[in-house]
Amino acid sequence: MDKPFVYVTRRLPEEQLSSLKELADIEMWEKEDEPCPRDVLLEKAKTADGLLTMLSDRIDAELLQRAPRLQAVANLAVGFDNIDVEAAKKQGVICCNTPDVLTESTADLTFALLLAAARRIIEASDWIKQGNWTGWGPLLLAGADVHHKTIGIVGMGSIGRAVARRAKGFGMNILYHNRSRNPEAEIELGAAYTSFDELLGQADFVVCLTPLTEETKHLFNRSAFQKMKQSAVFINVSRGQVVDEQDLYHALVENEIAGAGLDVFAEEPISKEHPLAKLPQVTALPHIGSASRETREAMMRLCAENIALVLSGKPAKTEI
Ligand code: GLV
Ligand code: GLV
């Protein structure tokens, strides 16, 4: 009997896919840093039993309809707004993401971005490299303190709690808003649950970690930015579309808020001409939340294991 066929939509290190090797014929898109074109993905899906996908691939009804053999989709991300999970379920396709393995690394990056935005780290480094350092000044590149300030975390899942643990170490006052309350965070971390508006009004750092859904699309809009302190810094490490970028741009140029640290954008990648990338008070990163080598490799292994389990008729480790 033919082995099942698994298509991987980026070139990944083969040793990370070892759990699948014996079981399936694996083919990969040849490029590491460029997405697999849609027509190639649609073509491969026709005969695929499993797909190992990236957040830049759209797994929608159109694709699913053309994939009669498909049993498993493993997405190399915790977020899965790129997958029509409902359509997949109807067709009996098991979808998996990579929670947990990336929690601490993503929290590290979130806190790094918060510190960088507050203390103008990237701006300061660029400033030296551009040859501007001709003398010391008392307010030269002065930023804002982080310690003992108020952090407001919107989306208190595992990553939110891991960010809160870091904030606790900085002596911060921790507020959070979430669909449901999280007693664990309240007891262990002293995090206080507030309404969304109350959090916006009180936080010095508003940190967005909520998944992108119909309800959270453009959650951060003009009205939300207007409720923030003028000194507030907005940090987004979830998905760009949770933010209305025009409204964010407006809030920044009108000094309604002080700055932003953005790891994600509504349409990625962005160019240096993107209005937000041109603002000095924006620290922009290319969607690297979970991008430590160890974590990305763990995510790859988890995706491969999930597909192997499903193709062997066993429950996946992290089904969505
Ligand atoms: C990255 O954005 C992820 O969802 O893992
Ligand atoms: C969300 O923050 C998660 O860890 O799933």
CATH number of the domain to which 122 belongs = 3.40.50.720
For residue 99, the ligand closest to its alpha carbon is: 2
- What integer is the mean pLDDT of 161-181? 97
- What integer is the mean pLDDT of 135-162? 96
For residue 98, the ligand closest to its alpha carbon is: 1
Does residue 139 sit within a domain?
yes
Q: What is the pLDDT of residue 238?
A: 98
pLDDT exceeds cutoff 70 at 52: yes
Dihedral angle computed from the Cα positions of residues 13, 17, 22 and 24, in that order, rounded to the nearest 10 degrees: -100
- What integer is the mean pLDDT of 21-27? 96
Question: What does the pLDDT look like over 28-49, one tens digit per residue?
Answer: 999 998 999 999 999 999 999 9
pTM, two decimals, is 0.95
Mutate to test the pocket of ligand 1, among 106, 212, 300, 320 (most ligand atoms within 8 A of CB): 106
Residue 170 shares a structural domain with residue 219? yes
**Residue 298 CA from chain centroid, whole number:** 16
pLDDT exceeds cutoff 80 at 98: yes
Does residue 316 sit within a domain?
no
Contact 299, 102 (CB under 8 A): yes
Does residue 145 sit within a domain?
yes
User: Is the shortest distance between the CB of 103 and ligand 2 below 6 Å?
Assistant: yes
Residue 221 shares a structural domain with residue 178? yes
User: Is the shortest distance between the CB of 289 and ligand 2 below 6 Å?
Assistant: no
Q: How far apart are CA 75 and CA 56, in angstroms?
A: 10
Under the banding of pLDDT at 50, 70 and 90, the label for residue 2 is: confident
Residue 129 shares a structural domain with residue 141? yes
Atom of ligand 2 nearest to the CA of 158: 4
- What integer is the mean pLDDT of 101-109? 98
Under the banding of pLDDT at 50, 70 and 90, the label for residue 1 is: low
User: Is the shortest distance between the CB of 159 and ligand 2 below 6 Å?
Assistant: yes
Q: Two tokens at 86?
A: 């409902």
Residue 71 shares a structural domain with residue 163? no
Catalytic residue at 188? no
Catalytic residue at 148? no
User: Is the shortest distance between the CB of 79 and ligand 1 below 6 Å?
Assistant: yes
The pairing of strands 205-208 and 233-236 is: parallel
* Average pLDDT across the chain, whole number: 97
Residue 158 shares a structural domain with residue 265? yes
Q: How far apart are CA 154 and CA 199, in angstroms?
A: 8
Residue 198 shares a structural domain with residue 64? no
Rounded to the nearest angstrom, the distance between the alpha carbon of 165 and the centre of ligand 1 is 20
Which member of 287, 296, 301, 305 is catalytic? 287
Q: Two tokens at 266?
A: 């509504």
**Total domains, the chain:** 2
Residue 43 shares a structural domain with residue 65? yes
Q: How far apart are CA 255 and CA 270, in angstroms?
A: 23
Contact 282, 259 (CB under 8 A): yes
Does residue 85 sit within a domain?
yes
Q: Which domain holds residue 110?
A: 103-284
Contact 192, 215 (CB under 8 A): no
Backbone angles phi, psi at 305, to 5 degrees: -65, -45
pLDDT exceeds cutoff 90 at 115: yes
- Closest-CA residue to 193 (of 164, 232, 236): 164
User: Is the shortest distance between the CB of 99 and ligand 1 below 6 Å?
Assistant: no
Does residue 317 sit within a domain?
no
Backbone angles phi, psi at 222, to 5 degrees: -50, -50
- What integer is the mean pLDDT of 59-67? 98
Q: What is the pLDDT of residue 313?
A: 97
Residue 78 shares a structural domain with residue 43? yes
pLDDT exceeds cutoff 70 at 145: yes
Amino acid in the structure at residue 228: M
- What integer is the mean pLDDT of 106-113? 98
Q: What angle do CA 222, 228, 139 make, to 5 degrees?
A: 120
User: Is the shortest distance between the CB of 77 and ligand 1 below 6 Å?
Assistant: yes
DSSP, residue by residue, 56-96 = TS-B-HHHHHT-TT--EEEESSS--TTB-HHHHHHTT-EEE
Residue 24 shares a structural domain with residue 111? no
Q: How far apart are CA 123 and CA 100, in angstroms?
A: 32
Residue 223 shares a structural domain with residue 301? no
Q: What is the pLDDT of residue 256?
A: 98
Residue 159 shares a structural domain with residue 256? yes
Does residue 320 sit within a domain?
no
Does residue 318 sit within a domain?
no
Residue 181 shares a structural domain with residue 271? yes
Q: Two tokens at 56?
A: 């830049």
